[in-house]
Amino acid sequence: MPRITLPDGSVRSYDSPVTAGAVAADIGPRLAADALGARIDGTLSDLTASITSDAAISIVTPTDRKGRPNQDALRLIRHSCAHVLAEAIQRVVPGIELVYGPALETGFYYDMSVPPGRPLSTDDFEAFERHMTEIIAEDRPFTRCELSIDEGMAKLRAEGSKYKLDNAERAVADGATCLSWYVTGVVGRDWEDLCAGPHVPSTGRIAAFKVMSLASSYWHGDAASDRLTRVYGTAFPTRQLLEEHLAQIEEAGKRDHRVLGRQLDLFCIDDAVGPGLILWKPNGAIVRRELEEFIRAELIKQGYRMVYTPHIGKLELYRTSGHFPYYRESQYPPLISAEQIQMLADEGAGCADLANRLFEGDLDGYLLKPMNCPHHIKIFDSNHHSYRDLPVRLAEFGTVYRWEQSGEISGLTRVRGMTMDDAHIFCTEQQLADELQGCLSLVKTIFGTLEITDFEVRVGLRDPDDSKYIGPPENWAKAEQACREAAATLGVPFNEEQGEAAFYGPKIDFLARDVIGRQWQLGTIQVDYNLPERFDLKYIGPDNRPHRPVMIHRAPFGSMERFVGLLIEHFAGAFPTWLAPEQVRVLPISAKSSAYGKEVLGTLIDAGLRAGIDESGERIQAKIRVASTLKIPYLLVVGPTDQQRHEVSVRARGIQRNLGALPLATFVHSVTGEVSSRGRDTLLAEHFEAATV
């Protein structure tokens, strides 16, 4: 006698087990026709799932009253579309084996094992889509079949797919009580796939779809395991939503920092220099320098002291720290002197000998530094320290080099040479909590000033089964606890993730997404009990005995490259005035006003503003257009009338018209105020009612 509670609180009673589909039909034929699935006591289910006891259910429909899709509907449609795609691919490419096909945040994929000699190509997409369209037009029902685990395993073994067998074993290990298949159509005749479900009622409910891209993947995400082929697609409950999605992807592309970087002349990357090595052009250098000065001022307020260290260090230093050789495959190769190479050559030594001797420490060389910490540690260790000196906070915009995999390098977000806003705090264990608070407040200041609100916090813990982490477990326990407690004070939700720690300690990371939805680590705060031990760091305590300090590694921006990359996208290139490479541009109406324009320019520059003038022979319309595409915050149009009154006619970025004229001094006062406050809103609002960006 199930009693069904609906989202509006109403209750319906049934004499016998009922399905969500039947409940929908009871409510109304329209709902029954619309329904894609149901949430039954919070679990997304098929409409045909039998409900035997009291339950709260809500029916999932393609879109809400405003025509927006609901996450559940998207998931059902996309997962169902993954099946349709897989069937289509199997029709086109006989012998292809199914592996795994889940729904994603923006679509779905299906991983497949492709027969040798028949790689998939994007040229196949047309055929895939044609078959998919057919399958959808046939409007075949998704039918769930359940087998006991024994029967199911027997069936899978008979079919002989190691991938599906593996999926089933994993499902059983996760506590599945039976194995389920979904047949697209008639059981025993039509296409089927081992699948937990749920699915939409029939293929016809997939209103709009597109096969998007092709990639390789690894079975179980393990690079040593089988290589699979992954086909990505997306699906929506309406064609219009699909088109909106595709348009949104195109729009996002225009905000891509690589596109804006070229358009705004911020940075470039040149093959002759090397991939992943950023050339900061004058405009980009201004953005970076402003950020550096911003953070430097905050650091000094917080008692940090700035240092400089070289870009390289002896290999032995990194053997001590543990960076070399454990991460040698992600470092630029060591620098070895010509004499040593000659010596090896004379001995007839080969590359393997060389690698061995570097590894063993028989041979020394230099390394482009992969991290700044060993250098800062040596600065700390160059003095004796009393407990009264602590904490010692050493900061540097330190450039480090890492040999990132070639397929990973991307614009400013993943590079091989990067400058970290790095610092290392050496403190007592008692000071750790306060110091972590200081680091967090720095991150909060930065994110607050730049109005970055869309970020996630992750506490990265070690994976106890992985041997890459150095140091005794008790150190890790202390450090992990310190990170957890500090993160808890942030007042924003955070995830704890095993295996995300640095090799020497756990960390609190701040993650943000780029325009195409990829997540990147920005700021990081890491607690480290281990490197102080490796370097035998000491301070003298009040008991007149040596004690071991604790280290915090922290970089609130992360790296200048990645941070600026994401910042370009965050602002869509329209930097707040304090960061804008060119803050004001003077646009004389004609050459007749050129002299006055120069006078205005001089005043702006004297006031410390980054200003330019457009003295080209173009008409004012063209000058405005050019300056607008460069996203310059303020344009000052000057002509004879302005000159006479000693005024400037103001245009502010984002407001597509002339705001009116202002005395030059008033304009300068407003904008310098806006810059020094690092504000995002124009202070001209007090002069012009319309000046709300």
Closer to RNA at the Cβ: 347 or 465?
465
3-state secondary structure of 505: strand
Sorted by sequence, the CB contacts under 8 Å of residue 272 that are 6+ apart come out as none
Torsion angle in degrees (nearest 10) through CA of 454, 254, 418, 501? 40
Closer to RNA at the Cβ: 9 or 221?
221
The least distance separating RNA from the CB of residue 65, rounded to whole angstroms, comes to 32
Closer to RNA at the Cβ: 298 or 404?
404
Closer to RNA at the Cβ: 436 or 637?
637
Phi and psi (nearest 5°) for 21? -65, -40
The least distance separating RNA from the CB of residue 467, rounded to whole angstroms, comes to 12
CB 331 within 8 A of CB 402: yes
Closer to RNA at the Cβ: 45 or 234?
234
Closer to RNA at the Cβ: 142 or 563?
563
The least distance separating RNA from the CB of residue 661, rounded to whole angstroms, comes to 6
The least distance separating RNA from the CB of residue 330, rounded to whole angstroms, comes to 3
CB 145 within 8 A of CB 187: yes
Q: Which of 222, 215, 226, 269 is nearest to 104 (CA)?
A: 215
Kindly state the tokens that stand for 360: 């063993």
* E strand or H helix at 233: strand 227-236
CA 261 to chain CA mean position, Å: 18
CB 656 within 8 A of CB 552: no
Residue type, 320: T
CB 44 within 8 A of CB 53: no
**Is the torsion defined by CA of 152, 154, 159, 165 positive or negative?**
positive
Sorted by sequence, the CB contacts under 8 Å of residue 161 that are 6+ apart come out as 97, 98
Token pair 């905000």: residue: 255
Q: At what angle do helices 664-676 and 594-606 cross, to 10 degrees?
A: 40
Partners of 647 in the β-ladder: 663
Closer to RNA at the Cβ: 290 or 528?
528
Radius of gyration of the chain (CA): 31
Report the distance separating Cα 260 and Cα 569, nearest Å.
8
Closer to RNA at the Cβ: 53 or 621?
621
Sorted by sequence, the CB contacts under 8 Å of residue 567 that are 6+ apart come out as 287, 291, 450, 575, 579
CB 134 within 8 A of CB 85: no
The least distance separating RNA from the CB of residue 37, rounded to whole angstroms, comes to 26
Closer to RNA at the Cβ: 122 or 342?
122
Token pair 């915090």: residue: 552
CB 612 within 8 A of CB 561: no
| Alpha helices (runs of H) in 51-188, residue ranges in sequence order | 71-92, 125-137, 149-159, 162-173
> What Cα–Cα distance (Å) separates residue 400 from each residue in 257, 410, 525, 677?
22, 17, 17, 32
The least distance separating RNA from the CB of residue 312, rounded to whole angstroms, comes to 13
3-state secondary structure of 459: strand
Q: Which of 449, 463, 310, 284 is nearest to 375 (CA)?
A: 310
The least distance separating RNA from the CB of residue 58, rounded to whole angstroms, comes to 31
Report the distance separating Cα 550 and Cα 554, nearest Å.
13
The least distance separating RNA from the CB of residue 319, rounded to whole angstroms, comes to 12
**360 burial via Cβ count (<10 Å: 0-12, 13-18, 19+):** exposed
Partners of 526 in the β-ladder: 507, 553
The least distance separating RNA from the CB of residue 375, rounded to whole angstroms, comes to 13
The least distance separating RNA from the CB of residue 362, rounded to whole angstroms, comes to 21
Token pair 């369209």: residue: 133
Token pair 């395991």: residue: 225
Closer to RNA at the Cβ: 277 or 344?
277
Closer to RNA at the Cβ: 18 or 589?
589
Closer to RNA at the Cβ: 287 or 638?
638
Closer to RNA at the Cβ: 11 or 622?
622
Partners of 400 in the β-ladder: 418
Phi and psi (nearest 5°) for 36? -110, -30
The least distance separating RNA from the CB of residue 607, rounded to whole angstroms, comes to 21
Report the distance separating Cα 573 and Cα 569, nearest Å.
6
What phi-psi label fits residue 221: left (phi over 0), alpha (psi between -120 and 50 degrees) or beta?
left
